[in-house]
Amino acid sequence: MSGSKSARVLIAVVLAVVALVAPIAVAGAAPVGPTGGADGARWAASHDGPQPYAGVNVTWDVPIRMSDGTVLRANVYRPADGRERPTSTKTPVIVNMTPYTKLITTVGSAVMQNPVLEPYLLQIARSINLSGTPIDGINDIAHTIRDGGAKTFLVDFDLVRSGYTQVVVDVRGTGFSQGVWDVFQSREQRDTIEVIDWASKQRWSNGKVGMSGVSYSAINQIQAANKNPKALKAIFPVEPGGDLIRDIVAPGGALGVGFLPLWLTLVNTTKMIPNVASMLNGTFDWKWLADRISDPFTFYPQLFAALLTPDIPSVPPNLKALLDTDSEPRSSWLDHADRITTPTLIYGGWFDLFTNSEVRMYNKIPLPPGKKQLIMGDGYHLTIGGGQEGRRNTPPRLDVLQKAWFDKWLKGIDNGVDSYGPVNLKQVGDSWITAQQFPRAGMQRQRLYLGDRRSGTAAHAVRDGSLTPTPPASRARMTIAPGLAPMCSRDAAQQLAGALAIFPFCADDARISERAALSFTTPPLTTTRSVSGYSNVRLNTVLDATDGYWTATLNDVAPDGTSKVLTSGQVMASLRGYDRAASQFAPNGDVIDPFYELTLASRQRVVPGRPVSVDIGLLPTEALIKPGHRLRIDVFAMNFPRGLPLRPLLNESGLRPQHIQLDPNRPSFVNLPLSTPVGRPVG
């Protein structure tokens, strides 16, 4: 036997021994950290490696008749051989309900996963490096393609070829489906349940159904899972909302003008795209056309009413319904996550459109860790799963995690994904960490008080104040007027789903927006601290009108002066009332997560000139503050385009200057969850 041949035999023997021993060594071992350890590597190999099926068979525009006679249209993607002949084996089914017309899904999936185009697109995405330029935020958008996040919005052909059937359905009133767009309300939710039942009973289905999709399609998953249909075995909602009024329609009572008009225009425009193929072959659906003509501008009347109605008595019924807790849209748009018994993995982000709901839903789901999991990145709505490939200590790509999740709960494969996490968090400004819960254990609540003593760090702000562990003795009044500087801010980037984040001087540094802010800053911190959980800013305010608009941000200020927003919140002064039963409180009684009622019935007009306390709940966050950095609270009287007061409230405010009245007996402060208190803890 030659030397080279002997070497090959020896290597083969070693590999065989390793193959036998390795499973014993790692069997049942919990994944290590955010990467998933050895299990995570196997999930990636399972997704990216050879699949049992060579091709994908597509059946276009399959009709699904709902119980009221309305016909929805679906594309069905099935595992197939190399000649695209579908398998006769029954498989689990993944359902995706979309309002963005499945035509977009079709084209996007075909382009991004074409055997010729996909490597080219990935090469382009990986080669983009605009770091240090005024538009380096484009890197993050490119990474959603490079890192597999976009596949969770589209159809993942690797998932189908691994033995799943995927069904993409145009929701009622959108795409090629009949009906009037119901926008997450009861009829649309019933449609989803009926589609799940239909999918479970098809000849190519083994009766087990999962759900996938991003944003709208993620919300549909939550709404379906809270009804616990028998066939639904797992969901993988990416960036789901759970309370649309508080998430995007009117957070804090201010209309989300940056996102809503663009989004409504997108859906109402794409729903008018006809099925050209049916026009050519003589099968055009005239019922589809009649339905579109009957309601071409869904929810535009409510939007216009919010922008144009001059006063409260003139509010029309369609807008009044959005300001009534018991109305159909308000009640339908709640997640009811406390009813979910379906294994659920939620992916969200600290600057997503739905940050308000993602953590809240995870904590409400009555399942043990493992059957429910949470991943929170630090990106925006458009940067889905970016930064999760080829990075040290990051979670697996989203398409990899999605397949592993479905393999466990739909195929019964013991792949260890139920031991992952259960909570993986990207610390703003630092790395990924794994935790058992969010907020993380070990945080201490501390008040830091707003004062008028100059910190010497924010001369560019309207006023440069201090943030200290003890309340100031001052009785000064600090005044701020509405301004448009927040148009260049992280809040603006968040409201625009991340589009503005391509400009780092807006999204990553608040010094431009702070020109319209009262700023309050701590001395430099001497040790590293974590912030984990909810924060609340309590202001002792005085208004010159019967209403006003308050916004606050929590910032990390670097030694070079860069002011990075960690989290933010906003509230109309007249809508400051909150539901105590649904809110969270610190041990000392401070509210830390006010759940605003946001109804006309709960509205409390302000008496001009009289002090009134306002609580501004900040969105949850996870951040690492390094030595030499400072904490800062910025306070604004306007937050356009993140929010614009409803027209009646805007008229009452008169856009007049607003005041913080410093008073030792009624101090203004922020209540923070810190791993180590700043200075002497008080409160």
What letter does residue 29 receive in the DSSP assignment?
P
Q: Is residue 488 part of a domain?
A: yes
Residues 466 and 352 in one domain: no
Confidence of residue 19 (pLDDT cuts 50, 70, 90): very low
Q: What is the mean pLDDT of the chain?
A: 92
Residue-range definition of the domain harbouring residue 135: 56-298+334-435
Confidence of residue 429 (pLDDT cuts 50, 70, 90): confident
What separation in angstroms does the CA of 280 have from each of 348, 388, 599?
42, 44, 50
pTM reported for the whole predicted model:
0.92
Residues 448 and 430 in one domain: no
Query: What mean pLDDT comes out for the span 213-239?
Result: 98
Residues 425 and 455 in one domain: no
Amino acid 17: pLDDT: 31
Confidence of residue 654 (pLDDT cuts 50, 70, 90): very high
Residues 408 and 499 in one domain: no
Residues 264 and 347 in one domain: yes
Where is 6: in which H helix or E strand? helix 3-26
Q: Is the pLDDT of residue 162 over 70?
A: yes
- Residue 253 maps to which CATH number? 3.40.50.1820
Amino acid 126: pLDDT: 74
Q: Is residue 559 part of a domain?
A: yes
Reported as a single tens digit per residue, the pLDDT across 594-614 is 999 999 999 999 999 999 999
Number of domains in the chain: 2
Alpha-carbon distance 367 to 528, whole Å?
Answer: 34
Q: Is residue 512 part of a domain?
A: yes
Domain boundary among 377, 400, 435: 435
Residues 390 and 503 in one domain: no
Residues 507 and 401 in one domain: no
Residues 559 and 637 in one domain: yes
Decide if 374 contacts 359 (C-beta within 8 A).
yes
Q: Is residue 269 part of a domain?
A: yes
Domain boundary among 370, 405, 435: 435
Query: What mean pLDDT comes out for the span 280-305?
Result: 96
Decide if 218 contacts 225 (C-beta within 8 A).
no
Q: Is residue 585 part of a domain?
A: yes
Amino acid 387: pLDDT: 75
Q: At what angle do helices 102-112 and 117-127 cross, to 10 degrees?
A: 80
Amino acid 1: pLDDT: 41
Most confident of 2-16, 29-43, 107-121, 209-223: 209-223
Residues 479 and 421 in one domain: no
Residues 238 and 168 in one domain: yes
Q: Is residue 6 part of a domain?
A: no
What letter does residue 646 receive in the DSSP assignment?
-
Query: What mean pLDDT comes out for the span 284-289?
Result: 96
Secondary structure percentages of the chain, helix, strand, coil, to 5: 35, 25, 40
Residues 401 and 458 in one domain: no
Query: What mean pLDDT comes out for the span 332-361?
Result: 97
Residues 463 and 410 in one domain: no
Q: Is the pLDDT of residue 680 over 80?
A: no
Query: What mean pLDDT comes out for the span 267-282?
Result: 93
Reported as a single tens digit per residue, the pLDDT across 431-474 is 999 999 999 999 999 999 999 999 999 999 999 999 999 999 99
* Strand-strand pairing, 372-380 and 477-480: unpaired
Q: Is residue 157 part of a domain?
A: yes
Domain boundary among 435, 458, 489: 435
Q: Tell me the sheet residues that pair with 133.
A: none
Q: Is residue 22 part of a domain?
A: no
Decide if 98 contacts 175 (C-beta within 8 A).
yes
Q: Is the pLDDT of residue 389 over 90?
A: no
- Residue 576 maps to which CATH number? 2.60.120.260
Amino acid 336: pLDDT: 97
